């Protein structure tokens, strides 16, 4: 991946751990910064990296910039992997929050007890993001 400039849709999908079709849909809707050149989408690398931030002290970047207003930083206190789903218990201050995500997502992120993560709360869902 180049240090500056633009990323292709495929490179952006890899960076964001999303399907390429989802990346293209987010670009069409304006949810991701992008420019269409002919039949291809190009994504400004620095703008994408800025959106991927975590706690400023952990990455030295800006915090994660997402549409969800409710996100909480915590530590994975417990992880139970089932055949299809995974239960993730987070310690956020003196409170515990439980999220159920797919086992594939937990494995893709390499979640483990002690990891610093963000719980992103949108409507009735709680998603997990790992730095």
List all residues 6 or more positions away from 51 whose beta carbon is below 8 Å from its beta carbon.
64, 65, 66
**Higher pLDDT pick, 3 / 27:** 27
φ, ψ dihedrals at 93, nearest 5°: 65, -130
Q: Looking at the domain assignment, is residue 112 inside a domain?
A: yes
Residue 24, domain extent? 6-52
DSSP 8-state secondary structure symbol assigned to residue 93: T
Mean pLDDT (the chain) is 81
> 40 and 78: one domain?
no
Q: What is the pLDDT of residue 130?
A: 84
Question: Residue 67: its pLDDT value, please?
Answer: 64
pLDDT value for 41: 93
Verify that 44 and 96 share a domain, yes or no. Answer: no
Domain count, the chain: 2
122 lies in the same domain as 78? yes
What is the separation, in whole angstroms, between the first and last Cα of the chain?
Answer: 18
Question: Please, which residues have CB within 8 angstroms of residue 111's CB and are 6 or more apart in sequence?
Answer: 76, 79, 86, 88, 117, 128, 130
């Amino acid at each position: 991946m180049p240090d500056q400039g633009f990323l292709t849709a495929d490179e952006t999908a890899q960076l964001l751990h999303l399907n390429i079709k989802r990346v293209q849909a987010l670009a069409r809707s304006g949810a991701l910064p992008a420019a269409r050149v002919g039949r291809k989408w190009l994504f400004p690398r620095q703008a994408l990296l800025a959106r991927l931030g975590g706690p400023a002290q952990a990455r030295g970047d800006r915090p994660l910039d997402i549409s969800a207003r409710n996100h909480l930083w915590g530590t994975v206190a417990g992880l139970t992997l089932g055949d299809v789903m995974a239960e993730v218990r987070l310690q956020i201050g003196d409170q515990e929050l439980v999220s159920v995500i797919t086992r594939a997502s937990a494995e893709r992120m390499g979640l483990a007890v002690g990891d610093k993560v963000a719980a992103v709360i949108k409507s009735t869902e709680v998603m997990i993001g790992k730095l």
